[in-house]
Chains A and B, each alone.
Chain A
Amino acid sequence: MAHAIEATGLEREFKGGIKAVAGVDLQVSEGEIFGFLGPNGAGKSTIVRILTTLLRPTGGTAKVAGHDVVREAPAVRRRIGVALQDAAIDPFMTGRELLHLQSVLHGISRHDGRARAQALLEQVELTDAADRRVGTYSGGMRRRLDLALSLVHEPVVLFLDEPTTGLDPHSRLTVWNEVRRLNRELGTTVFLTTQYLEEADQLAGRIAIIDSGRIVARGTPAELKASVGEPALTVTLAQPEQRESAEAALAQLGAALPGSSRTVGIRMPAGAAGLAPAVRALDEAGIAVAKLDLAEPSLDDVFLANTGRSLHGDDEDDASS
């Protein structure tokens, strides 16, 4: 399958020798939703700016939609849609006016531009607010308008830089649904950066984890989770005195994990598929079970395993919210 995005040895060094991007290779297939996960300052936005022709790389090459981002920048620009992190929206114009302006800038005829604006406003649920100035919009509405603006010319590759950072749950869902719909119905390739594990897990078919300008892990969410460890089953006992027989019943199913006086834990490489045998074994041994927990490793565990840090560990805002 052809690559929608292909980068080799991408580097960007800023004045003072700081390497925001230090040798990144990327292959994103056509029609894929690719998640780029990393903390603030990891280099996500710099890579997006390079891939969207806003910033020249100081090393390496990148092709987007089949065109080199430096030598064939205009061709790239015609094929990409960009919604950058700071929603770049004029507060003194209305949503509809901005969509019309964006259409003109993409060389779409006035008539087509109007129809397109109306359709996009409906898709991102902004018809009621279409003729209000953007200054009166909530953060979520702005982000949805931003998304609509990036779609005016039906791009082949869509770049979303932290599309839902700071959004309310409803707006986040609207954005997610729209991204899924675009990908499903139009086959739009989506390159999405996020600080949210849940977002990457929900949307992306494949994920790369970036830290300090380097990709530290990549794969499908399932592969990444599997790479850090197996799911664990924890059984909470109704009668703590049955602990030893419970341990014996489960021993054949997986390696024991340390538990408390009321719980027994084992590793369960098979994941949910291992549940039925476990329940059967417990039942046959006549053990009364209060609670069963199957814990899958999260992407947070993946991040921790690859960087030695928690994704939001030093982010006080997120910790407190």
Chain B
Amino acid sequence: MLRQTGALAWRSVVTTLRIPQAWFPSLFFPLALLAIFTASFSNAPGRVPGFPPVRGFLDFAVAGSVLQGVLIAGTGAGAAFAADMETGFFDRLVASPVSRWAILTGRLGASVAQGVVQGLLFLGIAVAFGARVEGGLAGLLILALFAALLAAAIGGIGVILALRTGSGEAVQGTFPLFFVLLFFSSAFFPRETMTGWYKTIADANPISHIVEGMHAQVIDGGQTRTTLVGLAFALGFAVLSVGVSAITYRRRLATQGA
């Protein structure tokens, strides 16, 4: 099963790399947004009331970009899974003696690999432009772990949507929803700067807690508690989403008879 998972994950990565439309947006949009935000809000830290002490806005926003890239990659994984069902590739797999689970773990594994590589790339670019990861190497590893968990979580949601709708377009169509969730969180602005109903949503949004755990590693390096809370949310999210995707997947195979 491991060899099959590896082979299928490799195939997912290769096909993603060969479709520029599949990886370009997940690299380009977060970076573009990061550049725009950093240019526009470079003065926000220190001036906006409530903005916590931070060296620069770039340090603050990079975690949100990593998250954003993972969101795009994860919906892409879901869309690719749907495409496999639509083209019949899925049928070919199911009709061969492939472990049922390798089909799912192969796809999610590729999504995790993409999330981690992309996350580290974003951090690298941010560092090149003057950001500093205060958590050091350990901080980087923790951020990579965040990216991996989130990639699994979002990939899982993508797979659930793919299994439910059977259409890659439908999966892609849910993407703006994730984006709204991202913006109604503390990904790009600290909750301290928010007021009213916006703050209420951001407080309730699990993404806020996840992204704050990531912020802690970039900005502060300490704040073990915030980091752990963030990791716990990310882990819970991943377990829930992968778990539900596994159940949905098994049910789908059962009704088909495979």
Contacts and interface: CB of A to CB of B under 8 A. Distances in A.
B95 A93 contact: no
Nearest to A83: B92
Interface stretch (A2-10, A47-55, A202-210, A282-290): A47-55
Contacts of A179: none
B179 to A, nearest CB: 27
Contact of B91 (A84, A106, A133, A153): A84
Interface string B62-90: 00000000000000000000000001111
A74 interface: yes
A57 B255 CA distance: 10
A87 B89 CA distance: 8
B4 A104 contact: yes
A105 B93 contact: yes
Contact of B89 (A57, A82, A88): A88
Interface in A66-108: 70, 73-74, 77-78, 80, 82, 84, 86-90, 92-93, 97, 101-102, 104-107
Nearest to B100: A74
Contact of A101 (B7, B91, B255, B258): B7
B96 to A, nearest CB: 6
B256 A77 contact: no
Given A55-B256, A93-B15, A105 B91 contact: no
A106 B97 CA distance: 6
Contacts of A84: 88, 91-92, 95
A101 B95 contact: no
Interface residues of B, number: 25
B93 A54 contact: no
B257 interface: yes
A54 B14 contact: no
Interface in B1-29: 3-4, 7-8, 11, 14-15, 18-19
A19 interface: no
A82 B3 contact: no
Given A53-B258, A70-B257, A92-B19, A107 B92 contact: no
Interface in B231-258: 255-258
A140 to B, nearest CB: 18
A149 interface: yes
Contacts of B3: 104, 107
Interface residues of A, number: 32
Given A88-B89, A105-B98, A54 B257 contact: yes
B201 interface: no
B96 A106 contact: yes
Contact of A55 (B14, B89, B257): B257
Contact of B92 (A50, A55, A82, A104): A82
B94 interface: yes
A56 interface: yes
Contact of A133 (B4, B18, B94): B18
A56 B96 CA distance: 16
A93 B14 contact: yes
Contacts of B8: 101, 105
A62 to B, nearest CB: 11
A52 B95 contact: yes
Nearest to A100: B7
A105 B4 contact: yes
Contacts of B88: 84, 86-88
B14 A77 contact: no
Given A77-B96, A86-B88, A90-B87, 6 more contacts: A74-B97, A82-B91, A84-B88, A101-B8, A105-B4, A133-B18
Interface of A: 50, 52-57, 70, 73-74, 77-78, 80, 82, 84, 86-90, 92-93, 97, 101-102, 104-107, 133, 149, 153
Interface of B: 3-4, 7-8, 11, 14-15, 18-19, 87-98, 255-258
9 A-B pairs with the lowest CB-CB distances in the bound complex, closest first: A56-B257, A88-B88, A104-B7, A92-B18, A88-B92, A82-B95, A92-B15, A77-B97, A86-B88
